[in-house]
Structure 1
Amino acid sequence: MTLALENVTGGYGNLPVIKNLSFEVPDGQIVGLIGLNGAGKSTTIKHIIGLLTPMQGAIKIDGQTLAEAPEAYRQAIAYVPETPVLYPELTLKEHLELTMMAYDLDAKTTWPRVNEMLEQFRLANKLDWFPANFSKGMKQKVMIVAAFMTNARLYIIDEPFTGLDPLAVHDLLDLVALKKQAGAAVLMSTHILATAQQYADQFVLLNNGQVRATGDLTSLQTQFNLADADLDAIYMAMTREA
Protein backbone atom coordinates (compact mmCIF):
# COMPACT_ATOMS: atom_id res chain seq x y z
CA MET A 1 0.00 0.00 0.00
CA THR A 2 1.65 3.24 -1.13
CA LEU A 3 -0.38 5.88 0.75
CA ALA A 4 -2.53 5.39 3.85
CA LEU A 5 -4.29 8.02 5.95
CA GLU A 6 -5.31 6.77 9.38
CA ASN A 7 -7.86 8.86 11.30
CA VAL A 8 -6.21 12.13 10.26
CA THR A 9 -7.51 15.36 11.76
CA GLY A 10 -5.80 18.58 10.75
CA GLY A 11 -6.10 22.15 9.62
CA TYR A 12 -4.64 25.57 10.30
CA GLY A 13 -3.62 26.60 13.81
CA ASN A 14 -6.12 25.06 16.19
CA LEU A 15 -8.92 25.03 13.62
CA PRO A 16 -9.57 21.52 12.24
CA VAL A 17 -10.60 21.48 8.58
CA ILE A 18 -10.37 17.74 7.97
CA LYS A 19 -11.67 15.31 10.58
CA ASN A 20 -10.82 11.64 11.08
CA LEU A 21 -9.90 10.99 7.45
CA SER A 22 -9.05 7.39 6.62
CA PHE A 23 -8.44 6.19 3.08
CA GLU A 24 -5.80 4.47 0.97
CA VAL A 25 -4.21 4.95 -2.45
CA PRO A 26 -2.99 1.52 -3.58
CA ASP A 27 -0.11 0.75 -5.90
CA GLY A 28 -1.04 0.81 -9.57
CA GLN A 29 -4.32 2.65 -9.06
CA ILE A 30 -5.71 6.12 -9.70
CA VAL A 31 -7.84 7.46 -6.86
CA GLY A 32 -10.03 10.49 -7.52
CA LEU A 33 -10.35 12.95 -4.63
CA ILE A 34 -13.77 14.54 -5.12
CA GLY A 35 -15.63 17.21 -3.15
CA LEU A 36 -17.16 20.67 -3.08
CA ASN A 37 -15.02 23.77 -2.74
CA GLY A 38 -14.09 23.97 0.93
CA ALA A 39 -14.61 20.25 1.50
CA GLY A 40 -10.96 19.83 2.50
CA LYS A 41 -9.31 18.47 -0.66
CA SER A 42 -6.39 20.92 -0.77
CA THR A 43 -5.96 20.76 3.01
CA THR A 44 -5.76 16.97 2.77
CA ILE A 45 -3.10 17.21 0.07
CA LYS A 46 -1.09 19.74 2.08
CA HIS A 47 -1.00 17.27 4.96
CA ILE A 48 0.08 14.42 2.70
CA ILE A 49 2.98 16.35 1.17
CA GLY A 50 4.09 17.66 4.56
CA LEU A 51 3.19 21.34 4.37
CA LEU A 52 0.83 20.79 7.31
CA THR A 53 1.24 18.44 10.29
CA PRO A 54 -1.76 16.38 11.43
CA MET A 55 -3.24 17.25 14.81
CA GLN A 56 -4.21 13.60 15.18
CA GLY A 57 -3.73 10.41 13.21
CA ALA A 58 -0.97 9.29 10.83
CA ILE A 59 -0.12 9.59 7.14
CA LYS A 60 2.14 6.84 5.83
CA ILE A 61 3.86 6.10 2.55
CA ASP A 62 5.02 2.50 2.33
CA GLY A 63 4.33 2.18 6.04
CA GLN A 64 6.46 5.14 7.15
CA THR A 65 5.49 8.65 8.24
CA LEU A 66 7.31 11.84 7.28
CA ALA A 67 8.78 12.07 10.79
CA GLU A 68 10.10 8.50 10.66
CA ALA A 69 11.78 8.73 7.25
CA PRO A 70 11.75 12.31 5.96
CA GLU A 71 14.04 11.88 2.94
CA ALA A 72 12.48 8.64 1.70
CA TYR A 73 8.97 10.01 2.29
CA ARG A 74 9.60 13.20 0.31
CA GLN A 75 11.37 11.45 -2.56
CA ALA A 76 8.43 9.04 -2.87
CA ILE A 77 6.10 11.93 -3.79
CA ALA A 78 5.78 13.91 -7.01
CA TYR A 79 3.32 16.80 -6.80
CA VAL A 80 1.56 18.91 -9.42
CA PRO A 81 -0.14 21.83 -7.59
CA GLU A 82 -3.26 23.62 -8.75
CA THR A 83 -1.30 26.86 -9.10
CA PRO A 84 2.16 26.52 -10.71
CA VAL A 85 5.07 27.46 -8.45
CA LEU A 86 8.19 28.47 -10.38
CA TYR A 87 11.33 30.43 -9.51
CA PRO A 88 11.35 33.66 -11.57
CA GLU A 89 15.17 33.74 -11.75
CA LEU A 90 15.53 30.18 -13.13
CA THR A 91 15.10 29.10 -16.75
CA LEU A 92 13.05 26.06 -17.72
CA LYS A 93 16.26 24.04 -18.07
CA GLU A 94 17.43 25.11 -14.62
CA HIS A 95 14.08 24.10 -13.10
CA LEU A 96 14.47 20.64 -14.58
CA GLU A 97 18.09 20.35 -13.42
CA LEU A 98 17.02 21.40 -9.91
CA THR A 99 14.38 18.67 -9.89
CA MET A 100 16.96 16.09 -10.95
CA MET A 101 19.19 17.11 -8.05
CA ALA A 102 16.29 17.09 -5.56
CA TYR A 103 15.32 13.54 -6.52
CA ASP A 104 18.93 12.36 -6.97
CA LEU A 105 18.28 11.45 -10.61
CA ASP A 106 21.03 10.61 -13.05
CA ALA A 107 21.05 13.38 -15.66
CA LYS A 108 22.27 11.18 -18.53
CA THR A 109 19.44 8.69 -18.16
CA THR A 110 16.80 11.28 -17.21
CA TRP A 111 17.25 13.86 -19.97
CA PRO A 112 16.04 11.56 -22.80
CA ARG A 113 12.77 11.01 -20.91
CA VAL A 114 12.52 14.74 -20.19
CA ASN A 115 13.12 15.66 -23.83
CA GLU A 116 10.29 13.37 -24.91
CA MET A 117 7.89 15.16 -22.56
CA LEU A 118 9.14 18.58 -23.64
CA GLU A 119 8.34 17.65 -27.25
CA GLN A 120 4.99 16.25 -26.17
CA PHE A 121 4.03 19.47 -24.37
CA ARG A 122 5.58 21.74 -27.03
CA LEU A 123 8.26 23.15 -24.71
CA ALA A 124 11.36 21.75 -26.38
CA ASN A 125 12.46 25.09 -27.84
CA LYS A 126 11.90 26.99 -24.58
CA LEU A 127 14.64 25.60 -22.33
CA ASP A 128 16.24 29.03 -21.98
CA TRP A 129 12.97 30.84 -21.23
CA PHE A 130 12.17 32.31 -17.84
CA PRO A 131 8.75 31.89 -16.16
CA ALA A 132 7.83 35.50 -16.94
CA ASN A 133 7.63 34.46 -20.61
CA PHE A 134 5.25 31.55 -19.96
CA SER A 135 1.46 31.53 -20.04
CA LYS A 136 -0.39 29.87 -17.14
CA GLY A 137 -0.87 26.75 -19.23
CA MET A 138 2.83 26.62 -20.09
CA LYS A 139 3.75 27.01 -16.42
CA GLN A 140 1.44 24.10 -15.60
CA LYS A 141 3.17 22.01 -18.27
CA VAL A 142 6.54 22.76 -16.64
CA MET A 143 5.17 21.47 -13.34
CA ILE A 144 3.89 18.32 -15.06
CA VAL A 145 7.22 17.60 -16.74
CA ALA A 146 9.09 18.20 -13.47
CA ALA A 147 6.81 15.78 -11.62
CA PHE A 148 6.65 13.03 -14.22
CA MET A 149 10.38 12.97 -14.89
CA THR A 150 10.77 11.39 -11.44
CA ASN A 151 10.41 7.76 -10.41
CA ALA A 152 8.04 8.64 -7.58
CA ARG A 153 5.94 6.01 -5.86
CA LEU A 154 3.03 8.43 -5.41
CA TYR A 155 1.86 11.14 -7.81
CA ILE A 156 -0.41 13.81 -6.32
CA ILE A 157 -2.20 15.97 -8.86
CA ASP A 158 -4.35 18.87 -7.61
CA GLU A 159 -6.83 20.23 -10.19
CA PRO A 160 -4.31 19.54 -12.96
CA PHE A 161 -6.43 20.58 -15.93
CA THR A 162 -6.69 24.28 -15.04
CA GLY A 163 -5.27 26.34 -17.89
CA LEU A 164 -4.41 23.34 -20.08
CA ASP A 165 -5.62 23.08 -23.67
CA PRO A 166 -7.44 19.86 -24.66
CA LEU A 167 -4.34 18.36 -26.27
CA ALA A 168 -2.28 18.96 -23.12
CA VAL A 169 -5.04 17.39 -20.99
CA HIS A 170 -4.87 14.29 -23.21
CA ASP A 171 -1.06 14.21 -22.94
CA LEU A 172 -1.21 14.50 -19.14
CA LEU A 173 -3.72 11.66 -18.87
CA ASP A 174 -1.44 9.52 -21.04
CA LEU A 175 1.43 10.17 -18.60
CA VAL A 176 -0.79 9.30 -15.64
CA ALA A 177 -1.82 6.04 -17.32
CA LEU A 178 1.83 5.12 -17.96
CA LYS A 179 2.77 5.72 -14.32
CA LYS A 180 -0.20 3.63 -13.21
CA GLN A 181 0.89 0.79 -15.51
CA ALA A 182 4.38 1.03 -13.99
CA GLY A 183 2.87 0.41 -10.55
CA ALA A 184 2.80 3.94 -9.12
CA ALA A 185 -0.10 5.24 -7.06
CA VAL A 186 -1.93 8.37 -8.23
CA LEU A 187 -4.13 10.69 -6.16
CA MET A 188 -5.96 13.15 -8.41
CA SER A 189 -8.17 15.97 -7.13
CA THR A 190 -10.46 17.32 -9.82
CA HIS A 191 -13.85 18.89 -10.52
CA ILE A 192 -13.88 17.39 -14.04
CA LEU A 193 -16.10 14.49 -13.01
CA ALA A 194 -16.45 12.86 -16.42
CA THR A 195 -12.67 12.58 -16.70
CA ALA A 196 -12.39 11.31 -13.13
CA GLN A 197 -15.03 8.66 -13.82
CA GLN A 198 -13.26 7.57 -17.00
CA TYR A 199 -9.75 7.29 -15.55
CA ALA A 200 -9.97 6.70 -11.80
CA ASP A 201 -10.18 3.20 -10.33
CA GLN A 202 -11.55 4.38 -6.99
CA PHE A 203 -12.89 7.56 -5.45
CA VAL A 204 -12.73 9.35 -2.11
CA LEU A 205 -15.70 11.71 -1.65
CA LEU A 206 -15.10 14.47 0.88
CA ASN A 207 -17.97 16.37 2.45
CA ASN A 208 -17.42 19.06 5.10
CA GLY A 209 -13.93 17.81 5.92
CA GLN A 210 -14.95 14.19 6.34
CA VAL A 211 -14.93 11.11 4.14
CA ARG A 212 -18.52 10.62 2.94
CA ALA A 213 -17.80 7.55 0.82
CA THR A 214 -14.95 5.58 -0.78
CA GLY A 215 -14.74 2.86 -3.40
CA ASP A 216 -15.26 2.30 -7.10
CA LEU A 217 -18.30 3.62 -8.98
CA THR A 218 -20.39 0.52 -8.25
CA SER A 219 -19.64 0.83 -4.55
CA LEU A 220 -20.58 4.52 -4.57
CA GLN A 221 -23.86 3.73 -6.32
CA THR A 222 -24.67 1.29 -3.52
CA GLN A 223 -23.65 3.70 -0.73
CA PHE A 224 -25.83 6.47 -2.16
CA ASN A 225 -28.61 4.08 -3.17
CA LEU A 226 -28.40 5.31 -6.76
CA ALA A 227 -28.34 2.33 -9.10
CA ASP A 228 -26.68 3.04 -12.48
CA ALA A 229 -25.85 6.65 -11.47
CA ASP A 230 -22.77 8.31 -12.92
CA LEU A 231 -20.25 10.20 -10.79
CA ASP A 232 -21.95 13.51 -11.57
CA ALA A 233 -25.28 12.30 -10.17
CA ILE A 234 -23.57 10.92 -7.06
CA TYR A 235 -21.75 14.24 -6.59
CA MET A 236 -25.05 16.12 -6.85
CA ALA A 237 -26.61 13.80 -4.27
CA MET A 238 -23.73 14.56 -1.91
CA THR A 239 -24.20 18.27 -2.59
CA ARG A 240 -27.85 18.05 -1.56
CA GLU A 241 -26.78 16.33 1.67
CA ALA A 242 -24.36 19.17 2.38
Structure 2
Amino acid sequence: MLEVRNITGGYAPDQPVIRDVSLTVNAHEIVGLIGMNGAGKSTILKHVLGLLEPFAGEILLEGGSLSTDPLKFRSKISYIPEQPRLYEELTLDEHLELTKLVYRLEESAYRERKQRLLDVFRLADKVDEFPNTFSKGMQQKVMILCAFVAAPDLLVVDEPFVGLDPLAIQALLELLIEMKREGHAILLSTHILATAERYCDSFVMVNKGQVALNGTVEQMRAQAGLAGVTLEEMFAHVVSGGLT
Protein backbone atom coordinates (compact mmCIF):
# COMPACT_ATOMS: atom_id res chain seq x y z
CA MET A 1 0.00 0.00 0.00
CA LEU A 2 2.43 2.71 1.26
CA GLU A 3 6.15 2.51 0.52
CA VAL A 4 8.58 5.11 1.81
CA ARG A 5 11.94 4.42 0.21
CA ASN A 6 15.10 5.92 1.64
CA ILE A 7 13.82 9.46 1.97
CA THR A 8 15.92 12.30 3.26
CA GLY A 9 14.01 15.49 3.90
CA GLY A 10 13.01 18.42 6.02
CA TYR A 11 12.91 22.13 5.42
CA ALA A 12 16.42 22.96 4.18
CA PRO A 13 18.60 20.68 2.02
CA ASP A 14 21.72 21.53 4.00
CA GLN A 15 20.03 20.61 7.31
CA PRO A 16 17.81 17.56 6.77
CA VAL A 17 15.53 16.57 9.64
CA ILE A 18 15.20 12.94 8.55
CA ARG A 19 17.80 10.81 6.79
CA ASP A 20 17.43 7.62 4.75
CA VAL A 21 14.03 6.71 6.21
CA SER A 22 12.22 3.67 4.83
CA LEU A 23 8.94 2.15 5.97
CA THR A 24 6.07 0.11 4.59
CA VAL A 25 2.40 0.03 5.55
CA ASN A 26 0.42 -2.81 4.01
CA ALA A 27 -3.31 -3.30 3.67
CA HIS A 28 -4.87 -4.90 6.79
CA GLU A 29 -2.09 -3.39 8.91
CA ILE A 30 -1.57 -0.75 11.61
CA VAL A 31 2.02 0.50 11.79
CA GLY A 32 3.06 2.52 14.81
CA LEU A 33 5.46 5.41 14.27
CA ILE A 34 7.15 6.13 17.58
CA GLY A 35 9.93 8.38 18.81
CA MET A 36 10.78 11.28 21.10
CA ASN A 37 9.57 14.82 20.45
CA GLY A 38 11.85 16.21 17.75
CA ALA A 39 12.87 12.77 16.49
CA GLY A 40 11.37 13.44 13.04
CA LYS A 41 7.98 11.73 13.22
CA SER A 42 5.95 14.77 12.14
CA THR A 43 8.40 15.46 9.32
CA ILE A 44 7.95 11.89 8.06
CA LEU A 45 4.17 12.31 8.16
CA LYS A 46 4.36 15.61 6.26
CA HIS A 47 6.33 13.90 3.51
CA VAL A 48 3.82 11.04 3.33
CA LEU A 49 0.98 13.56 3.06
CA GLY A 50 2.78 15.48 0.32
CA LEU A 51 3.17 18.64 2.40
CA LEU A 52 6.96 18.38 2.02
CA GLU A 53 8.97 17.08 -0.92
CA PRO A 54 11.91 14.82 -0.03
CA PHE A 55 15.41 15.83 -1.02
CA ALA A 56 16.14 12.19 -1.87
CA GLY A 57 14.17 8.95 -2.06
CA GLU A 58 10.57 8.37 -3.06
CA ILE A 59 7.12 7.75 -1.59
CA LEU A 60 4.68 5.44 -3.36
CA LEU A 61 1.04 4.74 -2.59
CA GLU A 62 -0.35 1.74 -4.42
CA GLY A 63 2.54 2.14 -6.84
CA GLY A 64 1.80 5.78 -7.71
CA SER A 65 3.59 8.89 -6.52
CA LEU A 66 2.56 12.42 -5.69
CA SER A 67 4.61 13.79 -8.58
CA THR A 68 3.01 11.58 -11.23
CA ASP A 69 -0.64 12.01 -10.17
CA PRO A 70 -1.15 14.44 -7.24
CA LEU A 71 -4.96 14.27 -7.24
CA LYS A 72 -5.12 10.48 -7.25
CA PHE A 73 -2.39 10.23 -4.60
CA ARG A 74 -4.10 12.65 -2.18
CA SER A 75 -7.55 11.15 -2.77
CA LYS A 76 -6.34 7.89 -1.24
CA ILE A 77 -5.26 9.47 2.07
CA SER A 78 -7.06 11.02 5.01
CA TYR A 79 -5.38 12.55 8.03
CA ILE A 80 -6.13 13.09 11.70
CA PRO A 81 -3.73 15.80 12.95
CA GLU A 82 -2.57 16.25 16.52
CA GLN A 83 -4.09 19.74 16.62
CA PRO A 84 -7.61 20.11 15.16
CA ARG A 85 -7.80 22.35 12.09
CA LEU A 86 -11.30 23.61 11.50
CA TYR A 87 -13.11 26.24 9.46
CA GLU A 88 -14.65 28.84 11.76
CA GLU A 89 -17.47 29.61 9.32
CA LEU A 90 -18.60 25.97 8.87
CA THR A 91 -20.87 23.91 11.08
CA LEU A 92 -20.08 20.30 11.96
CA ASP A 93 -22.45 19.11 9.25
CA GLU A 94 -20.82 21.42 6.70
CA HIS A 95 -17.37 20.04 7.59
CA LEU A 96 -18.65 16.57 6.77
CA GLU A 97 -20.36 17.75 3.58
CA LEU A 98 -17.12 19.39 2.48
CA THR A 99 -15.30 16.11 3.06
CA LYS A 100 -17.90 14.33 0.94
CA LEU A 101 -17.35 16.77 -1.92
CA VAL A 102 -13.56 16.70 -1.74
CA TYR A 103 -13.41 12.88 -1.75
CA ARG A 104 -16.33 12.55 -4.21
CA LEU A 105 -18.11 10.13 -1.92
CA GLU A 106 -21.18 8.23 -3.04
CA GLU A 107 -24.21 9.73 -1.29
CA SER A 108 -25.80 6.68 0.33
CA ALA A 109 -22.52 5.28 1.66
CA TYR A 110 -21.58 8.73 2.94
CA ARG A 111 -24.87 9.20 4.80
CA GLU A 112 -24.65 5.76 6.38
CA ARG A 113 -21.08 6.28 7.60
CA LYS A 114 -21.83 9.83 8.72
CA GLN A 115 -24.79 8.84 10.91
CA ARG A 116 -22.95 5.94 12.46
CA LEU A 117 -19.94 8.11 13.33
CA LEU A 118 -22.11 10.86 14.78
CA ASP A 119 -23.80 8.27 16.98
CA VAL A 120 -20.57 6.57 18.05
CA PHE A 121 -18.95 9.84 19.09
CA ARG A 122 -22.16 11.32 20.55
CA LEU A 123 -22.23 14.33 18.23
CA ALA A 124 -25.60 13.82 16.51
CA ASP A 125 -27.12 16.73 18.42
CA LYS A 126 -24.21 19.03 17.44
CA VAL A 127 -24.44 18.86 13.64
CA ASP A 128 -25.73 22.43 13.24
CA GLU A 129 -23.23 23.95 15.68
CA PHE A 130 -19.85 25.50 14.90
CA PRO A 131 -16.92 23.30 16.00
CA ASN A 132 -14.74 26.31 16.75
CA THR A 133 -16.90 26.72 19.88
CA PHE A 134 -16.32 23.08 20.95
CA SER A 135 -13.87 21.82 23.56
CA LYS A 136 -10.49 20.50 22.39
CA GLY A 137 -11.70 16.91 22.74
CA MET A 138 -14.88 17.57 20.76
CA GLN A 139 -12.90 19.33 18.04
CA GLN A 140 -10.66 16.27 17.84
CA LYS A 141 -13.76 14.15 17.37
CA VAL A 142 -14.74 16.33 14.38
CA MET A 143 -11.35 15.63 12.78
CA ILE A 144 -11.85 11.91 13.42
CA LEU A 145 -15.30 11.98 11.83
CA CYS A 146 -14.01 13.74 8.72
CA ALA A 147 -11.15 11.27 8.34
CA PHE A 148 -13.28 8.15 8.81
CA VAL A 149 -16.22 9.28 6.71
CA ALA A 150 -13.79 9.51 3.77
CA ALA A 151 -12.95 5.78 4.18
CA PRO A 152 -9.45 6.23 2.65
CA ASP A 153 -7.07 3.54 1.48
CA LEU A 154 -4.45 5.01 3.84
CA LEU A 155 -5.27 6.69 7.13
CA VAL A 156 -2.50 8.79 8.68
CA VAL A 157 -3.02 9.50 12.37
CA ASP A 158 -0.88 11.85 14.49
CA GLU A 159 -1.31 11.62 18.29
CA PRO A 160 -5.10 11.12 18.08
CA PHE A 161 -5.77 10.35 21.74
CA VAL A 162 -4.84 13.76 23.18
CA GLY A 163 -7.90 15.40 24.72
CA LEU A 164 -10.28 12.50 24.10
CA ASP A 165 -12.36 11.04 26.89
CA PRO A 166 -12.02 7.29 27.64
CA LEU A 167 -15.17 6.33 25.71
CA ALA A 168 -13.98 8.25 22.64
CA ILE A 169 -10.54 6.62 22.85
CA GLN A 170 -12.13 3.18 22.92
CA ALA A 171 -14.44 4.08 20.03
CA LEU A 172 -11.47 5.31 17.98
CA LEU A 173 -9.47 2.15 18.67
CA GLU A 174 -12.41 -0.02 17.64
CA LEU A 175 -12.79 1.95 14.40
CA LEU A 176 -9.07 1.56 13.65
CA ILE A 177 -9.36 -2.20 14.11
CA GLU A 178 -12.43 -2.26 11.88
CA MET A 179 -10.65 -0.29 9.15
CA LYS A 180 -7.70 -2.64 9.35
CA ARG A 181 -10.00 -5.66 9.06
CA GLU A 182 -11.63 -4.15 5.97
CA GLY A 183 -8.28 -3.81 4.20
CA HIS A 184 -7.24 -0.24 4.88
CA ALA A 185 -3.68 0.71 5.82
CA ILE A 186 -3.04 2.82 8.92
CA LEU A 187 0.06 4.77 9.94
CA LEU A 188 -0.30 5.80 13.58
CA SER A 189 2.06 8.16 15.40
CA THR A 190 1.66 8.04 19.17
CA HIS A 191 3.50 8.39 22.47
CA ILE A 192 1.13 6.02 24.27
CA LEU A 193 3.34 2.97 23.87
CA ALA A 194 1.29 0.50 25.90
CA THR A 195 -1.71 1.12 23.64
CA ALA A 196 0.50 0.99 20.55
CA GLU A 197 1.98 -2.35 21.60
CA ARG A 198 -1.51 -3.78 22.01
CA TYR A 199 -3.04 -2.54 18.75
CA CYS A 200 -0.24 -2.09 16.19
CA ASP A 201 1.02 -4.94 14.01
CA SER A 202 4.51 -3.50 13.59
CA PHE A 203 6.50 -0.38 14.40
CA VAL A 204 8.98 2.14 13.07
CA MET A 205 11.04 3.61 15.91
CA VAL A 206 12.68 6.89 14.95
CA ASN A 207 15.60 8.42 16.81
CA LYS A 208 17.46 11.58 15.79
CA GLY A 209 15.92 11.57 12.32
CA GLN A 210 16.73 7.98 11.45
CA VAL A 211 15.03 4.61 11.80
CA ALA A 212 16.55 2.92 14.84
CA LEU A 213 14.37 -0.19 14.90
CA ASN A 214 11.51 -1.51 12.79
CA GLY A 215 9.24 -4.53 12.53
CA THR A 216 7.18 -6.46 15.04
CA VAL A 217 8.01 -6.21 18.73
CA GLU A 218 9.77 -9.58 18.52
CA GLN A 219 11.78 -8.49 15.47
CA MET A 220 12.83 -5.27 17.18
CA ARG A 221 13.88 -7.20 20.29
CA ALA A 222 16.17 -9.26 18.08
CA GLN A 223 17.55 -6.13 16.37
CA ALA A 224 18.25 -4.50 19.74
CA GLY A 225 19.51 -7.68 21.39
CA LEU A 226 16.95 -7.28 24.17
CA ALA A 227 15.02 -10.49 24.72
CA GLY A 228 11.70 -10.29 26.55
CA VAL A 229 11.51 -6.51 27.01
CA THR A 230 8.40 -4.40 26.46
CA LEU A 231 8.05 -1.77 23.76
CA GLU A 232 8.48 0.95 26.41
CA GLU A 233 11.70 -0.64 27.65
CA MET A 234 13.07 -0.87 24.12
CA PHE A 235 12.13 2.74 23.49
CA ALA A 236 13.93 3.88 26.65
CA HIS A 237 16.99 1.86 25.66
CA VAL A 238 17.15 3.45 22.21
CA VAL A 239 16.58 7.08 23.20
CA SER A 240 19.04 6.85 26.09
CA GLY A 241 21.79 5.99 23.63
CA GLY A 242 21.76 2.25 24.11
CA LEU A 243 21.44 1.70 20.35
CA THR A 244 23.05 3.86 17.65
Give the corresponding residue for 1:191: 191
Give the corresponding residue for 2:11: 12
Give the corresponding residue for 1:225: 225
Question: In 2, Cα distance between the equivalents of 1:231 and 1:220?
Answer: 9
Give the corresponding residue for 1:63: 63
Percent identical residues: 48
Question: In 1, Cα distance between the equivalents of 2:161 and 2:150?
Answer: 20
Matches within 5 A, 1:165-204: 165-204=165-204
Give the corresponding residue for 1:119: 119
Question: In 2, Cα distance between the equivalents of 1:9 and 1:61?
Answer: 18
Question: In 1, Cα distance between the equivalents of 2:176 and 2:160?
Answer: 11
Check whether the contact 2:88–2:130 (CA below 8 A) recurs between aligned residues. yes
Q: CA shift at 1:182, angstroms?
A: 0.5
Matches within 5 A, 1:51-130: 51-130=51-130
Question: In 1, Cα distance between the equivalents of 2:65 and 2:240?
Answer: 36
Question: In 2, Cα distance between the equivalents of 1:202 and 1:109?
Answer: 31
Check whether the contact 2:30–2:199 (CA below 8 A) recurs between aligned residues. yes
Paired AA for residue 53 in structure 2? T
Q: Which runs of 5+ in 2 are unaligned?
A: none
For residue 102 of structure 1, give the secondary structure of its aligned residue in structure 2: helix
Paired AA for residue 155 in structure 1? L
Q: CA shift at 1:151, angstroms?
A: 2.5
Q: CA shift at 1:108, angstroms?
A: 2.7
Q: CA shift at 1:131, angstroms?
A: 2.1
Question: In 2, Cα distance between the equivalents of 1:118 and 1:88?
Answer: 20
Question: In 2, Cα distance between the equivalents of 1:178 and 1:97?
Answer: 23
Give the corresponding residue for 2:209: 209
Q: CA shift at 1:213, angstroms?
A: 1.0
For residue 43 of structure 1, give the secondary structure of its aligned residue in structure 2: helix
Size of the alignment, in residue pairs? 241
Paired AA for residue 6 in structure 2? N
Give the corresponding residue for 2:142: 142
TM-score, with length taken from structure 1: 0.98
Give the corresponding residue for 1:163: 163
Question: In 2, Cα distance between the equivalents of 1:50 and 1:205?
Answer: 21
TM-score, with length taken from structure 2: 0.97
Question: In 2, Cα distance between the equivalents of 1:210 and 1:13?
Answer: 17
Paired AA for residue 196 in structure 2? A
For residue 105 of structure 1, give the secondary structure of its aligned residue in structure 2: coil
Paired AA for residue 9 in structure 2? G
> Which segments of structure 1 move beyond 6 Å, counting only runs of 4 or more?
none
Q: Which runs of 5+ in 1 are unaligned?
A: none
